[in-house]
Structure 1
Amino acid sequence: MPLESSGSGRAERTGNEGDRLAFLELLAMGPRGWRSRFPVAAGPHGWRSRFPVAADATVYVGGLDEKVSEPLLWELFLQAGPVVNTHMPKDRVTGQHQGYGFVEFLSEEDADYAIKIMNMIKLYGKPIRVNKASAHNKNLDVGANIFIGNLDPEIDEKLLYDTFSAFGVILQTPKIMRDPDTGNSKGYAFINFASFDASDAAIEAMNGQYLCNRPITVSYAFKKDSKGERHGSAAERLLAAQNPLSQAFRFPSVQDATVYVGGLDEKVSEPLLWELFLQAGPVVNTHMPKDRVTGQHQGYGFVEFLSEEDADYAIKIMNMIKLYGKPIRVNKASAHNKNLDVGANIFIGNLDPEIDEKLLYDTFSAFGVILQTPKIMRDPDTGNSKGYAFINFASFDASDAAIEAMNGQYLCNRPITVSYAFKKDSKGERHGSAAERLLAAQNPLSQADRPHQLFADAPPPPSVPTPVVTSLGPGVTPPGG
């Protein structure tokens, strides 16, 4: 099907609608011959180095057949305009994509055109869904970007997220730099926090700490295209202080009831940590991140108290005491983003046993800021997944988009169900109600995420979404989120 250039520079298609669909179906029959026509591998790097990408220039593509590849997706969406990048999240075990992907264009105009001509066309006999995606929270990037060095090769993105999210909201999945051919870690990574409070706390607490048997280095990252200047400068902090979006992530001190505990001997357990810190006041929770291979903790943990006063007292009496002959470090940590919880909590059912928290985070963080690590419910004895999970978004725009895009999509060869979770201690009432949305609209903290969510061009209607009935088996009712 020929392409003609219009006065606006857009490629206009000739022929009727039937010709277009026939062409797309023909394209989907197989990748034979496409490499000689489109140098796909060179595409993303060439485009990305020369052109700035518009904020709303990314589309979500769902309902993809297992035979669809990234090169095929690239070529298909070239019909709408120049493609900057494609991404199809893959199953870590099988290497097979999950039935959806993202396509990034040079301009929002091209993304809109792709939605217009590609939505609901058939690819390998299956209709695909094409919707607008967000620009990964760019307006929230205040420069609180840290560098983490000397990483053990076994450390993955999930472990970094679990470790560093205790200090505050992380805007994107931690980025471990990897060899493009082998996928092996290069030994360093970057994390982008939503506030300098969080990045400062992470650097102070984690620099020099052991992670998977190596002492890591944590510092502010160098700025791109700068002559040795790092993030975290006074100028950046001044701009952040004037940015109302970044202020939403500075938590009131009354919430700071969690302490970080470092330098722990391998013999220290969570029950022992709990009993030890009871000397300072009532303990709400303890958490010690563990190595996925050995099951051994990483030499640090977190203790949450009922009040900030108890946390401060713990720091006063516990810092630098010796435990199994080793001095421990006790510092203040953040309070798990409680003020940002507006009720945008979703339930995900029918999960494949192989799905882990990282895969859920990678999949659902595209729709907006996630306040905590996705919570997969597991058997306390075996650690095996029970087949369902919960995710807490920072806004209803994000949760609405996730439900609309992902409900019924395949994840690791199973169609997942995505709906609003039941409220705790309620009689069958789900999150996402009109009352919660009204309260969220009046909460200045929750408003920080509104401009940055998926499908901002076509939000769901204001009515309460129809609940999705989740079937986990005979007589099983999903618990509240």
Structure 2
Amino acid sequence: MNASGPGYPLASLYVGDLHPDVAEALLYEKFSPAGPIMSIRVCRDIVTRRSLGYAYINFQQPADAERALDTMNFEVIKGRPIRIMWSQRDPALRKSGVGNVFIKNLDDSIDNKALYDTFSAFGNILSCKVVCDEHGSRGYGFVHFETQEAATRAIQTMNGMLLNDRKVYVGQFKSRKERESEYGAKAMEFTNVYIKNFGEDMDDERLREIFSQFGRTLSVKVMIDEKGRSKGFGFVNFENHEDAQKAVAEMNGKEINGRVVYAGRAQKRIERQCELKRKFDQLKQERFSRYQGVNLYVKNLDDGIDDEKLRKEFSPYGTITSAKVMTEGGHSKGFGFVCFSSPEEATKAVTEMNGRIVSTKPLYVALAQRKEERKAILTNQYMQRLASIRAIPAPPLLGSYQQPSGYFMPAVPQPPSRAAFYSSSPVAPIRPTPRWTSHPPPARPPSKLLFSYCRKQNLTIKHQ
């Protein structure tokens, strides 16, 4: 493998799947036998400073980096096999999909090294990974080859082959957007129909009898519980898409056993979740757009304020469509919302009510914002405040002088600690150096005030 090829011009390695306790010193100890190292950086979370599980190692010579890659890949450090590949700073190569192969239906015993050893016969591998979770392998992985020709050879040779007695699928990697686009086109030609809400009085044979009038069925299944009773939903798989489409059109909304049933295209769980999320986000956006500029957020509410009192306090400023104090366990959470019929009324309420004391507490009133908007505003304010603090130079101290790089402050002598005078060590304690090492300072002459005091007390002053 040549480290001077496109995509990895420097002698820089990516080291992944690291144990959280692996730091730069340990990596230096492991990798320095391969050759002189310029720098090592373990990537960490900017807030918690915890390791993100990967690092970058920069060698002085590409040959040393290549030696480390060939000899140390998948070596176990702190109980985890590490994964090494050339550092690809340009994300376009990773995201393009060129030379990237997707493998699924892998046996649980197939790990990164086994996958690497299996596919390395087809060409140089840039990266290789079996996707895992806390329970182990998830049964699929990726191999990124240096060239598309090597990826094509791997697909043609390995697709449908047995790996540890399991037939694997090997194909060209496709991005999520491409998969969703293809799946959406295929979904329109469905053959599997999902039926629900037909109650407990239903079995496979009766469901087959009801739906067989629309065409030839390949399988019919009523889902049952542990006691063998119908769960109220099932599936009918037709041979042709047209028959399935006809069944949906005829049976959706029809009564069976006195119940209005639903019939529609069967969806995968992830597809249903994505569709529900899209609908929820759309409804939330529509609701927020409808109340944009008229919904107020009110906080610092007294515990005794309920919905009616909140409405009464804001009613002088316009027509209120809703007023709600947020509660938890029957107790106020200290904030709520007031919605007006027009933006002008809401603006007037903000101007008049913000800071006004209601039941011993000053209210905070502002236009309601989405959580994402509030988070973005707070983050921006924090970053601006942090930047302004960093921009303010430290004030010059007495006895300091300014250099081009900043301020220089001389060391301030500290008083010796008590341990310097009272030590339990057999060594003689270190005593502070006296300020006058040769002769004591000359005695100061007595002041006139002292003479006057001594005369009154019949005292005599003697000079030493």
TM-score (norm 1): 0.26
> Of Structure 1 and Structure 2, which has the larger fraction of its residues in strand?
2
Higher relative contact order (CA 8 A, sep 6+): 1
TM-score (norm 2): 0.27
> Of Structure 1 and Structure 2, which has the larger fraction of its residues in helix?
2
